[in-house]
Structure 1
Amino acid sequence: MSETFSSRWSAYRPSKKVWLWSTIGASLLTMAIGFAGAGWQTGGRASVMAEMAARQARNDVAAGICVERFISAEGAAKNLETLRNTANWDRSKFIEDGGWSTIKGAEDLGPSAAAYCVKELIRMKELPVTIASDT
């Protein structure tokens, strides 16, 4: 009489060597699937991604402030025309020299804040109408 699979499985007693290699293989397979397909990240990569996200957020805020200052300034239409006529590589310097990208107490913004501001300003078809507040 032949034994069934379940009875053979119940009777099987693996050696310590088989247990060790099975555990190692299962661990490696879990890590390979996790890092390759499940989106796992190492701590170092997660730190780099967090720093990049923080830098992007600072630049977005700085660009928003810069655009607001630029369009609220006197002669904004003329300045926008001058900005558009300025060479691409000098546009950030134009924004920095105008003081629109400078935020008091935030020295770590770097030159990319002005570049983001330029990108937003150039994208505008026309300046929005600003309403002076009474406060």
Structure 2
Amino acid sequence: MAVQNSKTSIFERFNSYQPSKAILVWACAMTAVATIVVGFNLGGWVSSGSSLQAATAAGKTARGELASAICVERFKAAPDATGKLTEFKALSDSYKKRQFIEAGGWASMPGQTSIDSDIAESCSAALSV
């Protein structure tokens, strides 16, 4: 007599499996949740709030760099720029250097009447190099 093998292979069991609707719904829901978790953690997805913060910070940085470059160019275009630069580099304190830039009027941007101390600080740092 031949012995019949009652074990079915994994492929046969997979082909004959018929999940219920509840299992299908839960599988879809868990797949969606896993996609969202992986997307935000590893995929580089960001929310609108964090992208707005990043864009605002990048805008402030770019505006500051542009204003500093304008300040440095205005300083170098001033009459007796080499003498002023020597006088500027002779100052030891960063606060006095910033005041020197502010007093010279180089930290005010075109069209503005007030002097921005942040611009003066970054201009001072650029000129100190």
TM-based fold match above 0.5: yes
Relative distance call for 1:45 and 1:20 in structure 2 (3 A) is same
State the distance in 1 between where 2:96 and 2:83 align: 17
Partner amino acid for 1:112? D
Q: Which runs of 5+ in 1 are unaligned?
A: 124-135
How many residue pairs align between the two structures?
A: 122
Q: Determine whether 1:9 maps to 2:14.
A: yes
Partner amino acid for 2:67? A
C-alpha deviation, 1:120, in angstroms? 1.2
State the distance in 2 between where 1:106 and 1:36 align: 44
> Which residue is equivalent to 2:73?
68
Partner amino acid for 1:23? C
Larger RCO (CA under 8 A, 6+ residues apart): 1
Partner amino acid for 1:119? A
TM-score, normalized by length of structure 2?
0.77
What is the alpha-carbon root mean square deviation over aligned residues?
2.3
Q: Determine whether 1:83 maps to 2:99.
A: no
> Which residue is equivalent to 1:101?
107
Q: Determine whether 1:26 maps to 2:28.
A: no
Q: Which runs of 5+ in 2 are unaligned?
A: none
State the distance in 2 between where 1:42 and 1:28 align: 16
Larger radius of gyration: 2
Matched-pair identity in %? 30
> Which residue is equivalent to 1:41?
46
Aligned with residue 122 of structure 2, among 105, 113, 116: 116
| 3-state secondary structure, aligned to 1:24 | helix
- Runs of 4+ more than 3 Å apart: none
